[in-house]
Homo-oligomer: A and B are copies of this chain.
Amino acid sequence: MIMHYGVNKIPVGVLGASGYAGRELCALVAQHPRFSLAFATANEQRGHTVHVGRQDLTFIATDDAPLDQAAIVFCALPHGASLPWVERARAFGARVVDLSSDLRPGNGEDARRAVYGMPELGSTTRASIQAAEIVANPGCYPTSILLALAPLVSAGLLAPGATIVANSASGVSGAGNSPTRELLFAEVTEDYRAYAVGNTHRHLKEMTATLSAFGVDDVDLVFTPHLLPVVRGILSTIIVPVVAELIDATEPFRMAYPNEPFVEVVREQPRLSDVVHRNVVRMTATMIAGTRTPTMLVTSAIDNLVKGAAGQAVQNANLMCGIDECVGLPA
C-alpha cells in the first residue's frame, strides 16, 4: 500500500521524543514541508516545552499518545520497549517507522514483520519500504558499514572466506542522553577507547543477517566500535579482502550508487565534518599497497543522528507516503 496525500500535511507522531534521536526527529518533522507533528511523547519530560525549529513543542506521556491521529508513527523508544507500541500504533491504522533494534534483521522472529529501511540497498528495497506497514530503521553502525560493503557484494568482489575488519568510531550522542558518569564531559574529553569488543555489540547481528540476506554467508565480520570525544558522527574504517586489484577502487561504489541523493562517493578521505547535520553517507575506497592478496580499504562517514537515525527515518517515511525521498532532509 502506497498512500497518496494531496496538498494537506501528513500527520506524524513521535514516541520517545526526548532522546537525541527523538529530538532530531522532531526537528526534522518541524521543518518538513509535508509533515505535521501530531504529538511527541517523553515520559520523563512530560509537560516540558521545548523549542523545535520555530515551534514550541510540549511533550506528553507515551500512554497519552493519540495514536489514531497519526498516519505515520516514529517509534524512538528504548531497545526492548518498542514492540507493544508498534502493535498499538498498527491497531490504530498508523504505519510505523521503528528506530529501535527490536525489529531489525537478526533480532528474532519479530524482525520478519518489518521491512529493513535502508533504501540504497537496492530497488526492491525501495519498493518494499514504499509498501511497508512497519519499517525497521537501521542502526547507525550498520548504516555506515553495510552501505560501504553492499557495492562489493553486488559486484562479486568480496573474497570468499574473507575476514572483514570494521572499526568504527562514534560520537557520544550515539550513547543517548541518559546521565551516566562515563558520558560526563570530564570523562569523555581528551579520551578515546574501544567498547563492546569481540563482536559483542548489538549491531553485529543486524549486519551479519543483512549480509546473509544478500547471500554472503562465508565471511567473518569483526566489528569494533569506539567512543570519540565528539558529539555527532561515525567514521567506519573497513578492511576487505577482495578478489582483484582494482585500478580505481571507488569504481564499484560509483557504479552502485549512480543516482543516490544521499550517497557521496569521493576520492578524498571522508571526515565527520563533511557529514554532520546532513542525511548522507560519504565514502571512499582505496587499495592497500604491498599486500600479497588484494585488500581494499573502505571508509565511510555519517551523522549518527541523521543518516544513522532520524534522517533515515524521515527518508523512509517519505517513501512510505509516496512523496519525494529528499523532502525535508538536509543533504
Interface residues of chain A, those whose CB is within 8 Å of chain B, are: 20, 54, 161, 163, 165, 167, 169, 171-173, 177, 179-181, 183-195, 197-200, 220, 222, 224, 226, 228-233, 235, 237, 239, 241, 269-273, 276, 286-293, 295, 297, 299, 301, 331
Given the known A-B contacts A185-B231, A197-B269, are A295 and B163 also in contact in the complex, defined by CB atoms under 8 Å? Answer: yes
Given the known A-B contacts A179-B179, A185-B185, are A194 and B235 also in contact in the complex, defined by CB atoms under 8 Å? Answer: yes
Contact of A190 among B270, B273, B331 (CB under 8 A): B273
Q: Please state if A220 and B295 are interface contacts (CB–CB under 8 Å).
A: yes
Q: Please state if B297 and A198 are interface contacts (CB–CB under 8 Å).
A: yes
When distances are taken between beta carbons in the complex, the residues of chain B under 8 Å from A190 are 189-190, 230-233, 272-273, 276
When distances are taken between beta carbons in the complex, the residues of chain B under 8 Å from A301 are 193
Copies per complex of this chain: 4
Q: In whole angstroms, how far apart are the Cα atoms of A269 and B224 in the complex? A: 12
| A75 → chain B closest CB, angstroms | 22
Q: In whole angstroms, how far apart are the Cα atoms of A231 and B290 in the complex? A: 32
Q: Please state if A269 and B177 are interface contacts (CB–CB under 8 Å).
A: no
| A271 → chain B closest CB, angstroms | 4
8 other contacts beyond A177-B184, A179-B179, A185-B185, with CB at 8 A cut-off?
A163-B293, A169-B192, A179-B181, A189-B229, A192-B271, A193-B269, A193-B271, A193-B301
When distances are taken between beta carbons in the complex, the residues of chain B under 8 Å from A165 are 165, 167, 239
Contact of A291 among B222, B270, B292 (CB under 8 A): B222
Enumerate the 9 nearest inter-chain pairs by beta-carbon distance, A residue then B residue, closest first.
Answer: A193-B271, A185-B188, A179-B179, A165-B165, A220-B291, A167-B167, A198-B286, A191-B273, A199-B289
